[in-house]
Amino acid sequence: MRILIGFLLLTLVLLQYRLWVGEGSLAEVSALRGEIATQRAEIARMQTRNEVLEAEVRDLRDGLEALEERARSELGMIKRGELFLQLIEGAPPQPTTPSPGPAN
């Protein structure tokens, strides 16, 4: 009888070890669930990005306005008869005043 109880206790300890620490344990399952949630969030972010890119491709294919906007902003192109002005940011120029001549 003692052998049977000892065997059952040993089996119980081994099963508990596997449940808490071994392969497929509760900690491992919890970590995998967290990883799945992270991957799903990444997939949702990428799907949103793909939708935006797909809409941009449709605009470039179908509409001339989007194509013209791209040419203006990225290539610096202008229409005929337009005047191109380039603003340079920085300190405003200081007015120059003539320096007084040597005192005699």
pLDDT at 93: 67
Pick 50 or 12 by higher pLDDT: 50
pLDDT category at 99 given cuts 50, 70, 90 is: low
Tell me the per-residue pLDDT of 1-44, one tens digit each, with 9 for 90 and over: 889 899 899 888 887 777 777 777 788 888 899 999 999 999 99
**48 phi and psi angles, rounded to 5 deg:** -65, -45
> Which sequence spans correspond to the domains of the chain?
8-74
Burial label for 34, CB within 10 Å (0-12, 13-18, 19+), is exposed
pLDDT at 24: 75
